[in-house]
Structure formats: C-alpha cells, structure tokens
Structure 1
Amino acid sequence: MPRLDAIERTALLTAAIRAAESRRPDRLYDDPYAAAFAGDVGPELLAEVRSVTFPSGRARTLPSTPDYNAIRTRFFDEYLTAAVRDPAVEQVVIAPVGMDARAFRLPWPRRIRLFEVDRPVVLSVKDDVLGDPPCAVDRRQVGVDLRADDWTDRLLAAGYDPAAPSVWLLEGLLYYIPEPDVHRILDGVRAMTAPGSLVAADVVNGAALRLPTMRGLLDVFAGWGCPWLFGTDEPEALFAAHGVAATAVQPGEPAADYGRWPDPVPPREETEVRRVFFVHGLRTGD
C-alpha cells in the first residue's frame, strides 16, 4: 500500500474519529466504511489526540476534537443533502475527499456527478481499502494536489462543467495550508463555479493558531509534520473576496450543535478566544 505523508495521514485520523462516532448509541451519523479506512494507524493518531485533549487527572482545556468532528460531519452531511434537492444541481465537488465515504452513505439523487478530489496517493489507498463497492452516484476521482497549478484542468478533464450549478465542500483543508495557497484555491473555486453555486468549508480563527491553551493540540499536529498554518477572524470577508456571499456558524450555535458541543460559544465580538467556523454561502455574479 502506498505511504501517506503527514497531511494525508490526517485523513486516517478523521476516519478513526468517524468510526468511533459510528459505534456510539447516540451517534450523529453512521459511517460503515470508517473503521476500514482508519486501519491500524488512525486509532493510534486518535489516541495521541485524546491524550492531550482529555489529560488524565486534569480538566480539559482543549476543544473536544471527537465532538467537533462529529458535529462537522453531521453539519456538512445535512448541507450537501439539502443542496442536491435542487433539481438544477447535478455536480458536487468534495476537495479534498480524504477517506470520506459520503459517495456511498448519503442519499444522492441519481443525476449527481460527484467529484472526489485529492492527491493520487490518497485515492489509491482509498481504492485499495474500498475494492469495488456498489455506488448509486456517478463517482469520479480526480487525482491532483489542490495546490498544483493545473488542478482545475484536471477537474475539467474529469467531466466537470463550470457553466452549470455546483456544490463544493472544502473540509479539513484550509488551516493546513499557507495563506497564499488558501487564496489561490479559493480563486480556483471562483473560476470553476457558476453564479448560484454553493460553497462550504471549515476554518479556524487566528487566535486558534497562537493561544497557549491550544498549544497541546497544535504541538501534536506540528509533531506529525502538518502544523496549522492559516486562520481568519473574518471568514465571511474571506469568502466574499472570492465571490461567495457566506454565513459562518460556530459549533455549539443552534444550527451546529446537535446536543454535542461541550463548551460555551463565545460571541463574535470577544477577542483572543479559539474558534472554528463552518462557512457556507452562495457564489455571486462577478
């Protein structure tokens, strides 16, 4: 099996978290593929995150990564499911897709073409695990690094139509890449989306990259070789600069809680507190 690099291995962490969530009696979703995707490495990564998040004999000071991921997955599951109810929408892009199994576990209309974008090695590992299960949707894999200059060309070659409405999900991506790459990727999304298309992503704020209370979790990711590099305190402005009129929701707010967020939600005007945003919006006309 091909070897994944540091950032690519975070897909195994996410799979391990989804597998653990799927075993809970109060689970927010069920992912029957997650345990196989996680393999032996994913649970080891999750154990390391748990050890700093829930330290023995001390109160938790870091955000609960398992609860955050459960809420994020459920939130974007519902977002995608609602978006494709529009009969005009025939294209969905998940970039990067990692070990995501939404192609198999969400109720897609048969008209949908689902583009899974990620580095070739990630898609290869995913295929090795999956084999050839039945899929009700037209699933098309696009093996390319989103930081490469030709990633939009590869998407076009896979049959994507930039003139038609589309739905995009950029999940677990933006905080791992430098700010110039963030803007380049969002510029590419803008170039590839027709007005009226939908775009969603998750992003942290600037304080989440530097607060001492985040140090334990940040050190884990940095130690793996995939430090968090980008955050913004104004996610709506970030996406507006790239042609998306967006709303940002924090876990724990009514639209993104599901009874699972364990911490207070600070008001937006409060500074020097860690935040995560689920950003979603409408691609406007140029």
Structure 2
Amino acid sequence: MTESLDAVERTALLTAALRAAESRRPDRLYHDPFAEALAGGIGPELLAEVRAATFPKDAERTLPSTPDYNAIRTRFFDDYLQEAARDPETTQIVLAPAGMDSRAYRLGWPDRIRYFEVDRPAVVDFKKSRLGDARPRVDHRTVAVDLTSPDWESDLEAAGYDPARPSTWLLEGLLYYIAEEDTHRILERVGAITAPGSRIAADIVNSAALTLPHMRGLLDVFEGWGCPWLFGTEEPEALFDTYGFTAEAVQPGEPGADYGRWPDPVPPRTERDVRRVFFVHGRRR
C-alpha cells in the first residue's frame, strides 16, 4: 500500500522508523510498540538515508542529530498532550496531521476525551492496514481529509468536534513541508474553529535552516524524496500571535526540551544565521 502514499505522506513512515529505533534503546525517552509495524518496509530505508547524511563515515557531523531531535520532539509532545488531558476542561484533542502517530494507542487518556486524528485518506488507509486489530485507549475519531481542502472543518465537526468547546491541537511534522501562505492559512483556519482557552502546539524550523550551506546534506535528502522544506520563521511567537494564540517557543536542549539527549550547543535567540528548530506551544486568546 505504500505505493499510494506521496512523498510528503511517506515522511510519516520515517517518523515511525525513528520511533521504532528509539524504542529499542535502553535509554529510550518513550516506548512505542506500534512504531515498527507503522514504519513498514520503507520507513527503515528512509531512516538509513537520513543517518548516512547526518553521520558521515569520514567527516565530522555538521547536521542536527535527527534521531535525538525526533526522540525529544516525541517525548515533548507526549508530555504536552498528557498535561492538557489532565485539565478537567479538556475534552477534545486534535492531531493534524496524525501520520503514523500511535499516542491514541500507547498512552492512557481520561474517559472524557474525544481524540481526533486528521490526515489524508491514503495515510489513514495505510495506518489502518498496519495497526491490524489494535484498539485505541480513547474515544478515537478518524477524519480522512486533506488539510488544504476547502472544507476540512466541516468533516471534523461531522466527526463530533465542537468548535465552541476548548480543544488541544498538535501540528507535528507539518509546517516546514508547506509553503508560507499555506502555513498562514492553516493557522488562520485552526484559530477560527478553536474556542478561547484552547491549546496549540507545533514544531517549526527557522528560516536560516532552509538556506545555510551546512544544512544542505539534510535538505538535499528531503528534496530528493520530493518533499523539500519550504517554510521557516525566526519569530514563531509572532506567527502564532497573528492568529490569536499567545505562544512561547523552546529549542531542543533548553530546559524542558532536553531530557539529557540534545548533543549540540543551543545558540541564544539573538544569534543570527544559525539553524534552529522550535517547539511552539500556547493558548487561544
């Protein structure tokens, strides 16, 4: 079924392969028992390409460590969603896109939670085929729709989402694959269907990460797959503020986003022309 997935959709298999590899580590930051199946046969091949570019045999590493980054990102958003779920006011969680994520299956959730996974039909179908008889541990609603479609909000509401109630959204592994205008449009649309007090979280790179010469090794891998990185920002807080979210951004390696795993120095925000990735999280005003 992987033939039905396009280049961007296949990056979900890379994420699953990274999570499977992390789950085999004795010092793992989480355990994802579904990741190996969700990665399929292609996920490990994609991971091998990323590893070869990131950790060259005869040269010093200049690229960010994708395995460590992904481990920290997954754990950071695990903790973020679980913290949101402990809030009695939280009744709706939306993963958009959901990709090969298995949090609905591997983490515990309060009975009051409706857990929505939004992604393209091909991704939803592939995921179902890999999960087999696995059952989610939450009231799980799948919404098979493209986030660039003109009416995905109506599909989400038809699945039981209530825009008048506070919700928690996670946009993981999305914003750097879409053009700047599409990023703005998605944030605008999410802002329009979230009630005050709703939470949002996302990961995003800075604009320098798209152009710095020493990033070319990793950028070339994704471009070669047909899914180049298209958007980044030096001011993620301002980006989210535009659409009604008061947000803060933390970099891997900073307090609360390290877990003892980030291998590189963390440059201060005042330093220019350095690669960065941000975990953004905030609230709807």
TM-score, with length taken from structure 1: 0.98
The equivalent residue for 2:166 is 165
Kept in 1, the 8 Å contact 2:108–2:138? The answer is no
Give per-residue Cα distances to partners, 1:224-257, cap 9 Å, x unaligned: 0000000000000000001000010000001100
Q: CA deviation at 1:3?
A: 1.7
The equivalent residue for 2:59 is 58
The equivalent residue for 2:139 is 138
Please give the residue correspondences for 1:115-130 in structure 2 after superposition, counting only pairs within 5 Å: 115-130=116-131
Q: CA deviation at 1:40?
A: 1.1
Q: CA deviation at 1:269?
A: 0.3
Q: CA deviation at 1:157?
A: 1.0
- For structure 1, list consecutive stretches of 5 or more residues without a partner in the other structure: none
Kept in 2, the 8 Å contact 1:84–1:109? The answer is yes
Give per-residue Cα distances to partners, 1:95-150, cap 9 Å, x unaligned: 00000000011111111100000000000000001123222211000011111111
Q: Distance in 1 between matches of 2:58 and 2:217?
A: 16
The equivalent residue for 1:220 is 221
The equivalent residue for 2:16 is 15
2:25 matched to 1:24?
A: yes
Q: CA deviation at 1:88?
A: 1.2
TM-score, with length taken from structure 2: 0.99
The equivalent residue for 2:260 is 259
CA RMSD for the aligned pairs?
A: 0.7
One-letter code of the match for 1:223?
A: G
The equivalent residue for 1:188 is 189
Q: Distance in 1 between matches of 2:146 and 2:278?
A: 24
The equivalent residue for 1:113 is 114
One-letter code of the match for 2:196?
A: P
Q: Distance in 1 between matches of 2:99 and 2:249?
A: 23
Kept in 1, the 8 Å contact 2:54–2:218? The answer is yes
User: How many matched pairs?
Assistant: 284
Q: What is the SS of the residue equivalent to 2:86?
A: coil
The equivalent residue for 2:90 is 89
Q: Distance in 1 between matches of 2:137 and 2:146?
A: 26
The equivalent residue for 2:205 is 204
The equivalent residue for 1:247 is 248
Q: CA deviation at 1:37?
A: 0.6
The equivalent residue for 1:6 is 7
Kept in 2, the 8 Å contact 1:110–1:136? The answer is no
Q: CA deviation at 1:283?
A: 0.4
Q: Distance in 2 between matches of 1:182 and 1:263?
A: 28
Kept in 2, the 8 Å contact 1:49–1:220? The answer is yes
Q: Distance in 1 between matches of 2:57 and 2:134?
A: 41
Give per-residue Cα distances to partners, 1:163-191, cap 9 Å, x unaligned: 00100000000000001100110011101
Q: Distance in 2 between matches of 1:217 and 1:77?
A: 26
Runs of at least 4 residues off by over 3 Å? none
Q: Distance in 2 between matches of 1:71 and 1:120?
A: 28
Q: Distance in 2 between matches of 1:153 and 1:220?
A: 36
One-letter code of the match for 1:253?
A: E
Kept in 2, the 8 Å contact 1:202–1:276? The answer is yes
Identity %: 71
The equivalent residue for 1:42 is 43
Q: Distance in 1 between matches of 2:243 and 2:203?
A: 15
Kept in 2, the 8 Å contact 1:202–1:279? The answer is yes
- For structure 2, list consecutive stretches of 5 or more residues without a partner in the other structure: none
Kept in 2, the 8 Å contact 1:178–1:230? The answer is yes
The equivalent residue for 1:154 is 155
Kept in 2, the 8 Å contact 1:205–1:274? The answer is yes
